[in-house]
Chain A
Amino acid sequence: MQQTAKSQPGAAVGFLRRYSLWIAAAVVVLVLPYIFTSGSSISMMSQMGVMVVFALSYNMLLGQGGMLSFGHAVYFGLGGFFTLHAINGVNNGAWSFPLELMPLVGGLGGLAFGIIFGWISTKRAGVTFALISLGIGELVAASAQMFTDFFGGEGGISTNRVTAANEASIFGFNYGPQIDIYYLVVVWAFLATILIYLLTKTPLGRMANAVRDNPERAQFVGYNPRMVRFAQFSLSGFFAGLAGGLFAIMFEILTAENLGAIQSGSVLLMTYIGGIGIFFGPIIGAILITWLQTSLSAFSEAWVLYFGLMFVFMVMYAPFGISGIIMQHYLPYKTGLLKRLLPAYGIAVIPTLILLVGAVSIVEMGYHISTSYLPSRPMDLFWVSVVATNAWSWIIAGAIFVAGVFACRWSYRKVGRAWDDVNETLVERGLA
């Protein structure tokens, strides 16, 4: 009895400490709309929430289950279409269902198709799985053009969430203003994130990791790799469909594009760039890429190129993504060795910036010439007015780029040496 009495305050502190990251995240997302009050940023943050769920569901396949899918948007899109039809059903008076729970319809739709297509495609992992997912993705995208009753053909399917919310709503909001949608998305995204996280702690989540790493051994332990993959795949379909449902409520319209190859590719890119090795990786990726998509696309036509190059370099040099880079610094930070890395990083910053300025200048001038109606019109480049048709602009940009390449090679060698030093010390201390 004494012990329990003693441990009471300790438990509360322990609870706070243990879940501090989650609580902090909850506070931040609740407060954010008071900091970024403009309509466009609230809409962007809502989109980030949707993409976080979508990317996490994707990582249930790629990161946790080792299944590389090129057709994950199928479940996202189908979930969205189911949600739209469910909302339209409420508007037609066919049934009554609160708008707040509509994403569940999308989730169940995603789950249903996850079960159907998952059964087909999870027999094998690896490249065969990737190809089947590609085939199914194209198949569904192609049938979306045919079944116009369900997918709406060229114009897509649209709805009105406000009338549906007036018909049936749990909290009595009409979800007209963007801020209502933001909080709806945040609550769902938070719930989904917790659920997906808890799933990684279940036997299923653990077995998914085991099947990813060595299906044969998992089989020896007594689990059927296919069933593990299948369960993981179906659940991933559920969360993708949930994200699609949120997306549908937010935009009130969906076209066949939303379940096509481009959407599938984009979730793959954001998940991978965020990092597939760590749970929060896809969250970082979804937030960063959504931000880049909305903000970068506003002032550069070349943003897809930057995006693609970033992905390619990530695959080449940082296969565990941004979260992998962060986690790489965790041990040096804990042991106080980070300060040995910082000087080298400081030296590397300037060459990197020079390289980027040179590369971006070349790309932007190229786009200016190929897409502008009047290529000789001056353009703004890093706060300098530049005439892209002038040869000197190209020579200078090229020189900056080449100088950046050489300076980078020189300074990155220093970074490498600093890392060697840190790793050596870690080994000496028996930490690595």
Chain B
Amino acid sequence: MLESLIFTIFNGVLYGMLLFMLASGLTLIFGMMGVLNFAHASFYMLGAYFAYQVSVFAGFWAALFLAPLGVALIGALTERYGLRQVHQHGHVAELLFTFGLVYVIEEVVHLVWGRTPVNYQVPEALDFTLFTLFTTDFPAYRAFMLGVAIFMFVGIFLLLTKTRIGQVVQASLSHPDMVGALGHNVPRVFTLVFAFGCALAGLAGVIAGNYFITEPGMAWNMGPIVFVVVVFGGLGSLGGALVGSLIIGLAQTFAVQMTFSIASVLADMGLAISEDAFLSGFWFLELSRIGPMLPYLLLVLMLIFRPRGLMGTRAD
């Protein structure tokens, strides 16, 4: 029991930090430009594929740096030649643009790498067991992922709060006109923030692509969850994104482990429900099977009762 509890917490935190790598970029872009980037998970997928391609030629460590750079470049081009053009038509048009981008990026991935998963593996240098607690092994690569995610969180935090660039970015968030009047090129700041957010998503793709599977469906699998995290934590709030990521990550990981249902709980309390009762499918549903829908339930409830999210500042 204790063993599984500890490892569930480990894995939940790990999954949560991975979500955070995606969510941080998304929430940063939203906070800054008011753009909800539907294609954010597509950039995550691109990161994984770029990393695979680079690692074929130059190994994992080169991919760790080059793939996010490549994704950042694509992100910058997207912002400069796509989003900026759409911006004049309003936020709904921007949302639609990034929605179309999801299709385009997925198809480009089909085009270049085919429809089947690519063989992107954990590097040999990290492919060992870090420690064994009780009877379960903990792979070193998971610790590495956790390390990268934490390093990234601290990095963003320091970048935004302690450096001049961070101050300009934060100022552009609330007073773009004033920042422009002070001689900063605000549109370029936007491009940089978009590219930076995409690079973060790309980095998440690099370290998660080999841990999970690098396949064309990974963007659709991840996209909605990241949205949930960002909305749950509060749009535009980095701290909220962190808390939201951890909550969703832990909730989903724990739910998978739970095998009890409403009926079994009631039975423990002495209220047996017969197998052929009304809505028996519902009463006998195991919690583990609700896992996939839990985040969306949280999203809908949060949007109804507290639309600005846990730590968000704006309602819409």
A146 touches B86 (CB 8 A): no
The CA-CA distance from A124 to B304 in the complex, in Å, is 9
**Which residues of A are found within 8 Å of B231, using beta-carbon distances?**
131
A147 touches B282 (CB 8 A): yes
A268-310 CB mask vs B (1 if < 8 Å, else 0) is 1100100000000000000000000000000001101101110
Given contacts A135-B228, A146-B289, contact A312 B104 (CB under 8 A): yes
B147 CB–A CB distance under 8 Å? no
A302 touches B293 (CB 8 A): no
Question: Most chain-B CB neighbours within 10 Å: which of A123, A130, A148, A309?
Answer: A130
A3 CB–B CB distance under 8 Å? no
B97 touches A316 (CB 8 A): yes
**Which residues of B are found within 8 Å of A130, using beta-carbon distances?**
36, 92, 95
B299 CB–A CB distance under 8 Å? yes
**Which residues of A are found within 8 Å of B86, using beta-carbon distances?**
315-316
The CA-CA distance from A312 to B293 in the complex, in Å, is 30
Interface residues in A111-128 (C-beta closer than 8 Å to B): 120, 123-124, 126-128
Question: Most chain-A CB neighbours within 10 Å: which of B86, B110, B228?
Answer: B110
A146 touches B293 (CB 8 A): yes
**Which residues of A are found within 8 Å of B114, using beta-carbon distances?**
370-371
A261 touches B292 (CB 8 A): no
B93-110 CB mask vs A (1 if < 8 Å, else 0) is 101110111111011101
B227-243 CB mask vs A (1 if < 8 Å, else 0) is 11001000000000000
Q: Choose from A145, A261, A305, A367 the contact partner of B104 (Cβ within 8 Å).
A: A305
A363 touches B303 (CB 8 A): no
A148 touches B97 (CB 8 A): no
Main secondary structure of the interface of A (DSSP, over half): helix
B303 touches A145 (CB 8 A): no
Given contacts A123-B304, A366-B111, A370-B114, contact A143 B103 (CB under 8 A): no
A142 CB–B CB distance under 8 Å? yes
Given contacts A131-B303, A135-B299, contact A146 B281 (CB under 8 A): yes
Interface residues in A137-160 (C-beta closer than 8 Å to B): 138-139, 142-143, 145-150
A227 CB–B CB distance under 8 Å? no
Interface residues on chain B, size class = 35 or more
A145-179 CB mask vs B (1 if < 8 Å, else 0) is 11111100000000000000000000000000000
B117 CB–A CB distance under 8 Å? no
A134 CB–B CB distance under 8 Å? yes
B115 CB–A CB distance under 8 Å? yes
Main secondary structure of the interface of B (DSSP, over half): helix
A272 touches B293 (CB 8 A): no
Q: What's the minimum C-beta distance from B229 to chain A, rounded to whole angstroms?
A: 12
Q: What's the minimum C-beta distance from A364 to chain B, rounded to whole angstroms?
A: 10
B300 touches A136 (CB 8 A): yes
B115 touches A371 (CB 8 A): yes
B268 CB–A CB distance under 8 Å? no
**Which residues of B are found within 8 Å of A108, using beta-carbon distances?**
none
A86 CB–B CB distance under 8 Å? no
**Which residues of A are found within 8 Å of B99, using beta-carbon distances?**
70, 265, 268
Q: What's the minimum C-beta distance from A135 to chain B, rounded to whole angstroms?
A: 4
Q: Choose from A127, A261, A272, A301 the contact partner of B224 (Cβ within 8 Å).
A: A261
The CA-CA distance from A317 to B81 in the complex, in Å, is 12
A370 touches B111 (CB 8 A): yes
The CA-CA distance from A204 to B304 in the complex, in Å, is 25
A388 CB–B CB distance under 8 Å? no
B82 touches A305 (CB 8 A): no
Q: Choose from B95, B100, B285, B292 the contact partner of A308 (Cβ within 8 Å).
A: B100
Given contacts A132-B303, A135-B300, A146-B293, contact A312 B100 (CB under 8 A): yes
Across the two chains, which residue of chain B brings its CB closest to A143? B293
B54 CB–A CB distance under 8 Å? no
Q: What's the minimum C-beta distance from A314 to chain B, rounded to whole angstroms?
A: 8
**Which residues of B are found within 8 Å of A309, using beta-carbon distances?**
104
Q: What's the minimum C-beta distance from A266 to chain B, rounded to whole angstroms?
A: 10
B307 CB–A CB distance under 8 Å? yes
B65 CB–A CB distance under 8 Å? no
The CA-CA distance from A233 to B36 in the complex, in Å, is 23
Question: Most chain-B CB neighbours within 10 Å: which of A268, A315, A366?
Answer: A315
**Which residues of A are found within 8 Å of B290, using beta-carbon distances?**
146
**Which residues of A are found within 8 Å of B111, using beta-carbon distances?**
302, 305, 363, 366-367, 370
Given contacts A120-B304, A135-B300, contact A304 B293 (CB under 8 A): no
**Which residues of A are found within 8 Å of B297, using beta-carbon distances?**
139
A324 CB–B CB distance under 8 Å? no
B82 touches A68 (CB 8 A): no
A98 CB–B CB distance under 8 Å? no
Interface residues in A212-265 (C-beta closer than 8 Å to B): 261, 265
**Which residues of A are found within 8 Å of B92, using beta-carbon distances?**
66, 68, 126, 130
**Which residues of B are found within 8 Å of A68, using beta-carbon distances?**
92, 95-96
Given contacts A272-B96, A367-B111, contact A146 B315 (CB under 8 A): no
The CA-CA distance from A366 to B108 in the complex, in Å, is 9
B270-313 CB mask vs A (1 if < 8 Å, else 0) is 00000000000110010001101100110110011001000000
Q: What's the minimum C-beta distance from B299 to chain A, rounded to whole angstroms?
A: 4
A319 CB–B CB distance under 8 Å? yes
The CA-CA distance from A66 to B231 in the complex, in Å, is 21
A345 CB–B CB distance under 8 Å? no
The CA-CA distance from A302 to B109 in the complex, in Å, is 11
B282 touches A131 (CB 8 A): no
A120 touches B300 (CB 8 A): yes
**Which residues of A are found within 8 Å of B101, using beta-carbon distances?**
308, 312
A197 CB–B CB distance under 8 Å? no
**Which residues of B are found within 8 Å of A139, using beta-carbon distances?**
293, 296-297, 300
Q: What's the minimum C-beta distance from A55 to chain B, rounded to whole angstroms?
A: 15
**Which residues of B are found within 8 Å of A312, using beta-carbon distances?**
82, 97, 100-101, 104
The CA-CA distance from A278 to B28 in the complex, in Å, is 36
The CA-CA distance from A126 to B90 in the complex, in Å, is 11
A183 CB–B CB distance under 8 Å? no
A311 CB–B CB distance under 8 Å? yes
Question: Most chain-A CB neighbours within 10 Å: which of B36, B95, B282, B315?
Answer: B95
A-B pairs, 6 with minimum CB distance: A308-B103, A142-B293, A305-B107, A135-B299, A312-B100, A311-B100
Given contacts A126-B92, A135-B300, 6 further A-B contacts (CB under 8 A): A128-B307, A128-B315, A131-B227, A136-B300, A305-B103, A312-B101
Instruction: List 18 A–B pairs whose Cβ atoms lie within 8 Å, in order of A's numbering.
Output: A127-B36, A127-B95, A130-B36, A131-B299, A134-B224, A135-B228, A136-B300, A138-B224, A146-B281, A146-B289, A149-B281, A268-B96, A302-B107, A305-B108, A308-B101, A312-B104, A370-B112, A370-B114
